Amino acid sequence: MYALGDTHLSLTVNKPMDVFGGAWTGYVDKLREGLSVLREEDTLVLCGDISWGMSLEQAEADFAFLDAFPGRKLILKGNHDYWWNSAAKMERFWAEHGFSTLHMLHNNAYEYGGFALCGTRGWFYEEDAGGHDEKVFRRELIRLEASLKAAGERRKLCFLHYPPRYQGYTCPEIIALMEQYGVEQCFYGHLHGGSHRLAVEGRNGSVEYHLVAADYLQFRPYRICD
């Protein structure tokens, strides 16, 4: 089982991340190489910021790129996933295009090797510049709890897009939910470039945290377990 965030693909819409230079130069080739470890029996959780497409159609080539690798991919929403749609629309689009390995992680939980895989986008107070949107925030908490409840008594791993904590920042409500439901490890993305140094890694409270943004991992998925 692997986790990777922030693939930021743009194979249909021309918005390649290479323009940022540094780690992002040639990132699609690096991703292709990194994801070549995947086997049929594997699960890869993609922690948001999957595609720059503004609609499902504009993300089609990015879905095709991901679907071409063996194994199941569980996709959660990032702040740049404007193509995100209702579960019914996304599942229909993927089915119509034969993208049989793609699944959404949203108000639900999956299983791998005795672990329940839970998650949602999460919350980031820093984006509250225009005022804290309490309604959206509460909805995220409800989604996370629905996902954790769907896990039942199984051991739990939690996948988020936004970091629930990093240096100088915490989202106490999300952390409280993870601790209350006994989440063992939390994987998150969203932090890029210079923000990597702010990442919280390792145990904090009762949860172990890992940043899995693609540019942090040299575009190689983080191996969680066999």
78 binds Fe ion (CB under 5 A): yes
The binding track of 13-32 with respect to Fe ion, each residue x by CB under 5 A or -, is: --------------------
The nearest distance, CB 100 to Fe ion, in angstroms, is 26
Q: Which is nearer to Fe ion, 48 or 151 (CB)?
A: 48
3 state DSSP class of 43:
strand
- Binders of Fe ion among 43-72, rule CB under 5 A? 49
The binding track of 86-115 with respect to Fe ion, each residue x by CB under 5 A or -, is: ------------------------------
Q: Count residues contacting Fe ion (CB under 5 A)?
A: 5
Q: Which is nearer to Fe ion, 104 or 160 (CB)?
A: 160
- Binders of Fe ion among 132-191, rule CB under 5 A? 190
121 binds Fe ion (CB under 5 A): no
Q: Which of 43, 18, 15, 7 is nearest to 190 (CA)?
A: 7
Provide the token pair at 20.
Answer: 């940022």
- In SS3 terms, 136-179 reads as HHHHHHHHHHHHHHHCCCCEEEEEECCCCEECCEECHHHHHHHH
The nearest distance, CB 215 to Fe ion, in angstroms, is 9
Q: Residues 43, 97: contact at Cβ < 8 Å?
A: no
Q: What gap in Å lies between CA 4 and CA 6, rounded to an integer?
A: 7
The H or E element that residue 63 is part of is helix 60-67
Residues that bind Fe ion (CB under 5 A): 6, 49, 78-79, 190
